A and B are shown apart, each in its own frame.
Chain A
């Protein structure tokens, strides 16, 4: 093992890096879903063939989501630093990175949620309507519960995407494995560190993927 690697290990920097990556990813995902889930649902129900079509609102939200989705994350991240400073008081560190991650991931999550909700059988929605369920009840009792397995799969994909974003955030002042790879590896010409970070990232992604999919399968009553 190279000297730097030994040092990183001894000082618990790698362990801390893993922890920071996981922590940033999950906190960002949490807030992204807090905003993205309602946004995705609104996108779905206000659509032309939705349960409550509101064309103007749908068009505006659709456009906004598309705009944010089309900006490459590395650019969006830098552009959002002033916003981060406004919200959490600093444009450096993990807190600031979480803000930029949430802004970048929310439109992505909204699209994932939208596509999951769209999969819900139209007939089941019609049945609920025939029983006298209003739009809100249909959302909370039919759309979201029926789409749960698909939403879970979507969450796993989103988590992995956000984890990727968080590594990029390491280049502009965020922590985690991305930061370690850049500052200790890339900038000091130490390929070992980069490879170790790559390997650790793969392990984290595998764990998220495996556990998430298992939950999705277990909770899906269609295959029970």
Chain B
């Protein structure tokens, strides 16, 4: 278990002080994938480096498996780091070493005999699916392949934890997906606890169990991903999670119905059923929904025909089926404040 208690980090230089972390506390449980999301400059990279003490917090405690890192001696700290693998946005492979020797590197540091190290490295190459690249050099690999090598290297010393610092930010969407799948597989199969740093909510959405949202050196909220995503509390969370939604959008016209999805099953075809059963042609004016864990969140604005009897039919269908809706009278209305609607 990784516990961060009241972590503060301040950099001092001639121009003055800069606070990168302000009173950050969080706990990462064993076996989970924990995400830290924030815009660039929020302090998330500094925070993840505090875990393995690449950055020494100005104050606060880092406690890993019950022992406080600050109190560890130099050798103990190096030993601890062997138990915490780390991968980076820039891969950071040794350019002058072959793929196999890159993976052997942490084992050399740990003092593992060469034949044993090579054997282990080959097993890991198989895990990341690059058996045929053993003798290649990093410059001969694609970005995704490099990150796979970096993952294999980070796992070589059988760490309990894996820190991912924007590990997919330099990769294209397809490669990102495959790397995320690999990370999840490692988490499930090897039981490695993973901490993921990202600015991309899709990464959190795809693999994380819990998430912490960071803004301006502080953690603004922590919780299960479905929880935070469906009810983002802070402005940052809203901005990160629903970035593509406009805060307000004006739609004018005749009578309209606004349906709010608040976690109903996304598998029920509400609109289609309404049309089929009431026989009224509905026009979708606005729709923004998001599927989180099989549940729908978001809103939908439907235009009713001018015929008032048709409107009644639609409403009665929605009433009997327990769909949450509100009627917007003629004229202009603001819709699209989904962040609030789903909260």
* Residues of A bordering B, CB below 8 Å: 121, 123-124, 126-134, 137, 141-142, 145-146, 148-149, 220-224
Determine which of B81, B85, B92 lies in contact with A124 in the assembled complex, contact meaning CB atoms within 8 Å: B92
Given contacts A127-B88, A132-B81, A146-B94, contact A221 B105 (CB under 8 A): no
Closest 10 CB pairs of A and B: A132-B81, A127-B92, A130-B86, A132-B78, A123-B92, A131-B106, A221-B137, A132-B82, A123-B90, A222-B139
Determine which of B79, B88, B97, B150 lies in contact with A132 in the assembled complex, contact meaning CB atoms within 8 Å: B79
Q: What 0/1 readout, one digit per residue, does chain B (227-263) give for beta carbons within 8 Å of chain A?
A: 0000000000000000000000000000000000000
* A/B pair count, beta carbons within 8 Å: 81
Asked if B96 and A134 sit within 8 Å, CB to CB, the answer is no
Give Cα A146 to B102, complex, Å.
12
A-B CB contact pairs (8 Å), 8 listed: A128-B109, A132-B78, A132-B82, A132-B109, A145-B96, A146-B94, A221-B96, A222-B96
Given contacts A126-B54, A223-B139, contact A131 B92 (CB under 8 A): no
Given contacts A142-B94, A224-B139, contact A133 B109 (CB under 8 A): yes
Given contacts A146-B94, A146-B96, contact A127 B78 (CB under 8 A): no
Which residues of chain B come closer than 8 Å to A127, judged between CB atoms?
A: 86, 88, 92-93, 150
B51 CB to closest chain A CB (Å) equals 10
A224 CB to closest chain B CB (Å) equals 5
Asked if A145 and B78 sit within 8 Å, CB to CB, the answer is no
Which residues of chain B come closer than 8 Å to A134, judged between CB atoms?
A: 74, 78
Q: Number of residues in B with C-beta < 8 Å to the partner?
A: 34
Question: What is the predominant secondary structure among interface residues of chain A facing chain B?
Answer: helix
Which residues of chain B come closer than 8 Å to A148, judged between CB atoms?
A: 96
Asked if A131 and B81 sit within 8 Å, CB to CB, the answer is yes
Taking A121-B92, A123-B88 as given, write out 7 further A-B residue pairs in contact, using a Cβ cutoff of 8 Å, ordered by the A residue number. Answer: A121-B90, A124-B93, A124-B95, A126-B54, A131-B109, A132-B77, A133-B109
Find the B residue at minimum CB distance from A130.
B86
Q: Is B186 an interface residue (CB 8 A)?
A: no
Which residues of chain B come closer than 8 Å to A146, judged between CB atoms?
A: 94-96
Q: Is B337 an interface residue (CB 8 A)?
A: no
Give Cα A59 to B82, complex, Å.
34
Which residues of chain A come closer than 8 Å to B157, judged between CB atoms?
A: 131-132
Which residues of chain A come closer than 8 Å to B138, judged between CB atoms?
A: 221
B80 CB to closest chain A CB (Å) equals 7
B98 CB to closest chain A CB (Å) equals 8
Asked if A222 and B95 sit within 8 Å, CB to CB, the answer is yes
Asked if A221 and B109 sit within 8 Å, CB to CB, the answer is no
Asked if A126 and B110 sit within 8 Å, CB to CB, the answer is no
Which residues of chain A come closer than 8 Å to B78, judged between CB atoms?
A: 132-134
Give Cα A48 to B84, complex, Å.
27
Given contacts A132-B81, A224-B140, contact A141 B108 (CB under 8 A): yes
Q: Is B52 an interface residue (CB 8 A)?
A: yes
